[in-house]
Amino acid sequence: MSAFRFAFFKYYGKGMDFSDLWLDVLKAFYMGIRYDLSVLAYLNVPVVSVLLILLFANGENLFRKCINFFKYYYTLSIGSLIVFLSIDFGFYSYFQNHLNVLVFGLFEDDTAAIISTLSQNYSLFLVITWFILSYTVVFFVSKYLLSTFKYEKLFESKKIVLKLILTTLMIFINIIVARGSLGYFSLKIDDLQVSKNVFLNKVSINGVYTFENALELKSKNNDYDCANKAGYKNNIRKAFADYLNLDIDDIPEKNPELSLLKNIPYNKTIENVKPNVILIVMESFGSDLLKYNSENFNVLGELKKHFDADFVFYNFLPAHDNTIGSLEGIITNVVRLPLPMFLAQSRYAYKKYIFSGPMPYNEKGYETTFIYGGNNGWRNLCNFIPNLGFNNVLGEGNMDKNYSRGVWGVYDECLFDYLFKILSQNDNQKFICVLSTTNHPPYSMPSNYKKLSLNIPKDLERNIIGRRSIAEKRFITYQYSNEMLGRFITRIKNSKYANNTIIAVTGDHNFSGILAYSNEKTLDSLSVPFYLYIPKLLRPASVIDTSVFGSHLDIMPTLYNLSISNSKYIAMGRNIVSEKAKDNIISIDRGVIMNKEGVVRYDFFKGIYLYYIWNKNNNREIKYSYVIEDNSKKLIKHYLSAITVSEYLIKSTGKNIVL
């Protein structure tokens, strides 16, 4: 287990500077040994219990048989532990975390597609061989060690004192090691925080503990009381007041959600133009890789000219680090709850929400359509999306059978072709939300695609983890998706829709699993871009500041204010092109909260946090703050109140509310 930890440290810590943290590194490995020994102690409990009982019962024959049998027990338990740790190692490569609630996605997601993806990215023959080898080695080691156990003298009557000493010692050792502590409290997952460096905290823990925690969270799921945990039990108005920075007297007693109600004034230009709105959520469209874009490493393709001409926000966070979580955050207008529950697959999937994304467009007579490049049965979208107010829910099954496809759905060039056809179907005003699939493992694309130059720069190559061949496939697929998106935007700008169509683009989450990120690069490790094409007639009078902080929560409020007039909406986000956006506080489900002053990494369930300030020499990097500033308390209060407000909106809103 220590060997796994060392390999984990070397493999995923690539490119990180630990020169000033050597004591924290030692703490991480020491804490790791405690966690590991605790796991092993629990595996030994049945063995020790049975043998001690037989020892005092003088059951020498049965004792001998049990010793022989335990080689099979250890083969199963220790062999399975090695397999488990191997799976955890691979899990981290994609999710940048140990086994957690996302592992249940194997059964809740498109299971066949996931298995196909794994088979194409990894050699299943080598994986299975490794698993078989693990069990085999453990079997022979166990057999050898148990065969050398000289127990016969323990059954001599005169050895009663030895029996008592052995029994007491074995019980004491197992209890202490299983507890992981000599103190009043036993070792818990909360104890993993050994450093200001987030990665070292992950080095200390093992996947067994995090998986156990995931099972606990999964069991809580729908019924977990976030308001109580956040400190707002029976005080919902206070949560709304804290979230909105208002006095509690300004929050309605009967329906506090009305404090989130926003009015959009009449706008003559918008009424005359009657714009269409297209919102595109691109798979794994992270921001960080874009900074390496050049003629030799061309990851933007045709999209670059649109990024140069229009508006792009880079200080922008996704709602979640998983596709469905981010999609929900965008189109429900509420903060993601820090639970394994995804709305689309919960009992709340069948409610109708007055704050959902398409509602204001429906009320203005828009035709609202959701298009997914894959099977719209994925994650229960076919049931969840209509309840949010979309008139049409379309998936790959609705598209041309001649479209080329990958494991997860139609390729992006086909998806954008279909999107243009839907836009052109009739003269209705349209709001169309699109979710792509191509830039997803196993990173395939049409065979006729001619890739642009992709010579990996040295400073990027230093940060690549894992096989270079996988990274190269990932870069090509990323380029392909951006090239196809760029061609689609060009097609819109060259068509009759150029002056009456707003296009918004973001990523569902960052480009993960290929690059190593240091603690200082938290923003780069998480951020996705937010691109806006706004026809000149529809642009706001004030200058748009693209340096402000924003998140998926701000997308729909921004689009409402750019595309509809004389209307109302309820949303937790704000208009990112307004003056008020400069004071934005943003967060994601992972417990990262930031504003222009600093960053907090907060564990909702443990109540522990780390605070960082922005590096003045590099405005995208953070450094640990040894001083607990007022801003950290402000960010935590915002996060806790946001979760409480969101939980209330999801569970309680919609009763007797008319906008």
**What whole-number distance in Å separates Cα of residue 274 and Cα of residue 261?**
23
The rounded percent of the chain whose pLDDT value lies above 90 is 50
Domain 274-585 has CATH 3.40.720.10: yes
**What whole-number distance in Å separates Cα of residue 477 and Cα of residue 471?**
10
Answer with the residue of higher pLDDT: 315 or 617: 315
Q: Which of the four pLDDT bands, split at 50, 70 and 90, describes residue 153?
A: low
Residues 6+ apart with CB under 8 A from 259: 240, 244, 246, 250, 251, 252
The rounded percent of the chain whose pLDDT value lies above 70 is 90
For residue range 487-497, list pLDDT tens digits in order: 999 999 999 99
* 3-class secondary structure, 540: coil
**What whole-number distance in Å separates Cα of residue 369 and Cα of residue 393?**
6
DSSP states of 268-307: HHHHHH--EEEEEEETT--SGGGGG--SSB-SSTTHHHHH
Q: What pLDDT score was predicted for residue 64?
A: 79
CB-CB contact of 331 with 286 (8 Å): no
For residue range 70-107, list pLDDT tens digits in order: 889 989 999 999 988 988 888 887 777 788 766 766 65
Q: Which of the four pLDDT bands, split at 50, 70 and 90, describes residue 656?
A: very low
Domain boundaries, the chain: 2-222, 274-585
**What whole-number distance in Å separates Cα of residue 291 and Cα of residue 20?**
28
Residues 6+ apart with CB under 8 A from 87: 99, 207
Q: Which of the four pLDDT bands, split at 50, 70 and 90, describes residue 208?
A: confident
CB-CB contact of 399 with 471 (8 Å): no
DSSP states of 234-245: T-HHHHHHHHHT
CB-CB contact of 510 with 528 (8 Å): yes
Q: Which of 281, 279, 160, 353 is nearest to 533 (CA)?
A: 279
Distance of CA 288 to the CA centre of its chain: 16
User: Measured on CA atoms in the order 604, 610, 614, 620, is the torsion positive or negative?
Assistant: negative
Q: How many helices (H) and strands (E) does the chain have?
A: 22, 16
Distance of CA 436 to the CA centre of its chain: 17
Q: Which of the four pLDDT bands, split at 50, 70 and 90, describes residue 450?
A: very high
Q: What pLDDT score was predicted for residue 159?
A: 63
Residues 6+ apart with CB under 8 A from 199: 12, 13, 16, 518, 519
Q: What pLDDT score was predicted for residue 477?
A: 95
Residues 6+ apart with CB under 8 A from 45: 174, 178
Whether 119 shows a pLDDT value over 80: the answer reads no
User: Measured on CA atoms in the order 570, 576, 579, 581, is the torsion positive or negative?
Assistant: positive
Main-chain phi, psi angles of 450, to 5 degrees: -100, 110
Q: What pLDDT score was predicted for residue 457?
A: 93
Residues 415-450 as b or e (16 or more Cβ within 10 Å = b): bbbbbbebbeeeeebbbbbbbbbbbbbbbbbbeeee
Residue type, position 365, single letter: G
Q: How many CA atoms lie within 13 A of 593 on its CB side?
A: 25
CB-CB contact of 195 with 203 (8 Å): no
Q: Which of the four pLDDT bands, split at 50, 70 and 90, describes residue 213?
A: confident
**What whole-number distance in Å separates Cα of residue 215 and Cα of residue 232?**
26
CB-CB contact of 539 with 557 (8 Å): no
Answer with the residue of higher pLDDT: 463 or 240: 240
Q: Which of 9, 489, 422, 472 is nearest to 201 (CA)?
A: 9
Q: Which of 478, 621, 511 is nearest to 288 (CA)?
A: 511
For residue range 470-490, list pLDDT tens digits in order: 889 899 999 999 999 999 999
Question: How distant, in Å, are the alpha carbons of 107, 242, 330, 432, 440 from that of 373?
Answer: 20, 40, 17, 13, 12
Show the tokens assigned to 411: 């390729």
Q: How high does pLDDT run on average in the chain? A: 87
Whether 158 shows a pLDDT value over 70: the answer reads no
Residue whose pair of structure tokens reads 């929560």 in the numeric block: 553
Q: What pLDDT score was predicted for residue 109?
A: 52
**190-212-49 Cα angle (round to 5):** 105
Distance of CA 272 to the CA centre of its chain: 41
Residues 6+ apart with CB under 8 A from 539: none
CB-CB contact of 186 with 175 (8 Å): no
**What whole-number distance in Å separates Cα of residue 224 and Cα of residue 272?**
48
Alpha helices in 259-335 (DSSP H): 268-273, 303-309, 323-332
Whether 35 shows a pLDDT value over 90: the answer reads no
**What whole-number distance in Å separates Cα of residue 503 and Cα of residue 431?**
10
Q: What pLDDT score was predicted for residue 154?
A: 66
CB-CB contact of 397 with 366 (8 Å): no
For residue range 566-581, list pLDDT tens digits in order: 999 999 999 999 988 8
**What whole-number distance in Å separates Cα of residue 255 and Cα of residue 235?**
13
pTM attached to this predicted model: 0.79
Give the Cβ contact number of residue 597 at 10 Å: 14
Whether 237 shows a pLDDT value over 70: the answer reads yes
Whether 108 shows a pLDDT value over 60: the answer reads no
Q: Which of 414, 412, 369, 413 is nearest to 394 (CA)?
A: 369
CB-CB contact of 413 with 446 (8 Å): yes
For residue range 508-562, list pLDDT tens digits in order: 999 877 888 888 888 999 999 999 999 999 999 889 999 999 999 999 999 999 9
Question: How distant, in Å, are the alpha carbons of 67, 314, 529, 530 from that of 286?
Answer: 55, 10, 7, 10
Residue type, position 262, single letter: K
Least confident piece of the model among 130-139, 169-178, 600-609, 623-632: 169-178
Give the Cβ contact number of residue 516 at 10 Å: 19
